[in-house]
Structure 1
Amino acid sequence: GVMAAYAEGLGVLRSANVGKQTHAADAETTPLREPEHYQYDLDLPDIAELWRRGSVIASWLLDLTADALTKDPVLAGFAGRVSDSGEGRWTIKAAIDEAVPAHVLSSALYERFSSRGEADFADRVLSAMRYEFGGHIEKPAG
């Protein structure tokens, strides 16, 4: 869960300049409200360095993240396919067996599946349903 939280937080910060970009104005795209609030060009390696050395969220994982961002600020060498080595599955299975809620852990594991394209068929089904009930046509990728 903490890995996903770091990744999602950095993803939000990376998009903090979305208000400077041109956006589609069509029925398939929710308009950006208050684009003036999203005008920031943030230096993610600097932010990660600040987090690792000057905040309460300092950790070894954050050290590794800051190092990776310093080497390659856009992480161009990574495709974003995230493997799971079994620990998350075992933990979630134990949580189910023990009737212990594990919302964050299960969401993090499912996101790893999704990153590998394992939800592609489900996404196609969702797209087909949207087309059938409202004529929503898929936008081209990119």
Structure 2
Amino acid sequence: MGKQADIGLIGLAVMGQNLVLNMNDHGYTVAVYNRTVSKVDEFLNDAAKGRDTIIGTRSIEELVASLAKPRKVMLMVKAGEVVDSFIDLLVPHLETGDVIIDGGNSHFPDTNRRTAQLREKGLLYIGTGVSGGEEGARRGPSIMPGGNKEAWPLVKNILQDISAKVDDGSPCCDWVGEDGAGHYVKMVHNGIEYGMMQSLAEGFTVLRKSPLGLDLTRIADLYNHRSVIESRLTGWLKEAYEQYGPDLNQVSGSAAQSGEGKWTVDAARELGVAVPVIEEALAFRLRSLQHPSYTGRVISALRHAFGGHDVKEEK
């Protein structure tokens, strides 16, 4: 066998592929696996073509066998039962001190449970938030790891190397706490994101309906240069206007949601914390499924920009 991989990654959707390429760019040998095995070959023959330090594997056994010890396996799969099923497949082939990293948007109670269960088996578990969307995964995301702290020294270099960097070169990645802390921090991040997107969408709806004939693309660009609301979201909205035009007619006015906003609202309620902005942003998305609007189009365009979520033209 040739050089063993520094880390394995399961799940070759766009986020997973981009993280693999990012790791490989930073000098790491990466073994990859996907449940639909044909996607491994597609990846190796397309985005990863010519990269001989990305190793394609076609079974869990082959993936684990390709890894240097202590083994490190990152899951980039759908939250919920899929994560549990892959953990169940991995565990028989791992040894004490090996690490599993869940990089999806898992609910923090599930991460608490998995950390405890794997600790009993001598395995180390990390649940990490990854923010920045598909572009961030490729060029450098913000990473929020938590879980079994014994695992942190084993994965710190990889995660900090692939993360975004601030101006002084410091990584946008650090340990946030035990058990489900990483996914808790990412959950609240996504709740905040709901509120920010809602405010941006509402504001641009007001601008669009004004009688002044305003150029929304230029305004988004203006807002995104040294104003208080300068942000990646504002920049993405400018790009959406450039792609779809100011009316966003090809974009659905029904804004979908994937669960993290509700989890944030539920967690806040249990703590007795009022979160009216996040709560209303969530309620708007649910209402928009029956009552599409321009505000919903803005949110849908933003969701597509950072997460690759579908943008469906209204019929």
TM bucket, shorter chain: 0.5 to 0.7
For residues 103 and 13 of structure 1, the distance between their equivalents in structure 2, rounded to whole angstroms, comes to 24
Aligned to 1:67, what secondary structure does the other structure show? helix
- Identical aligned residues as a percent: 39
The answer to whether the aligner puts 1:5 opposite 2:199 as a matched pair is yes
More helix by share: 1
Query: What is the deviation of 1:56?
Result: 1.4
The one-letter amino acid paired with 1:10 is F
Question: 1:42 and 1:54 mapped to 2: Cα distance?
Answer: 20
Q: Distance in 1 between matches of 2:279 and 2:224?
A: 26
Which residue in 1 is equivalent to 2:274?
Answer: 101
Pick the structure with greater CA Rg.
Answer: 2
Q: C-alpha displacement at 1:74, in angstroms?
A: 1.2
The aligned amino acid for 2:272 is: A
Structure 2: runs of 5 or more not aligned: 1-194, 292-315
How big is the shift at 1:100?
0.2
Please, which runs of 5 or more residues in structure 1 have no aligned partner? 18-39, 119-142
The Cα shift of 1:44 comes to: 0.4
Give CA deviations for 1:79-124 in whole Å, capped at 9, x if unaligned: 2111111110100000100000000000000000011018xxxxxx
CA–CA distance in structure 1, aligned partners of residues 284 and 274 of structure 2: 18
Matches within 5 A, 1:1-142: 1-17=195-211, 40-71=212-243, 72-117=245-290
SS at match of 1:100: coil
Partner Cα distance (1:70, 1:43) in 2: 11
How many residue pairs get aligned? The number is 96
1:99 alignment partner AA: G
Kindly provide the amino acid, as one letter, of the partner of residue 52 in structure 1.
N
Residue-by-residue CA offset, 1:50-100 (whole Å, 9 max, x unaligned): 001141111111111110012222101112111111110100000100000
Distance across 1 between alignment mates of 2:284 and 2:199:
12
- Bigger proportion of residues as strand: 2
Q: Specify the SS of the correspondent of 2:225.
A: helix
TM (normalized to structure 2)? 0.30
Deviation per residue, 1:16-52 (Å, 9 max, x gap): 11xxxxxxxxxxxxxxxxxxxxxx1100000000001
1:11 Cα shift? Answer: 0.3
Which amino acid in the other structure matches residue 63 of structure 1?
A: G
- Secondary structure in 1 aligned to 2:224? helix
The runs of at least 4 aligned residues of structure 1 exceeding 2 Å deviation read none
Q: Give me the whole-angstrom Cα distance separating, in 1, the residues matched to 2:214 and 2:225.
A: 18
SS in structure 2 at match of 1:42 = coil
**Structure 2 CA distance for aligned equivalents of residues 79 and 94 of structure 1:** 29
Amino acid at match of 1:56: V
Greater RCO (CA < 8 Å, at least 6 residues apart)? 1
Q: Which amino acid is the alignment partner of residue 207 of structure 2?
A: L
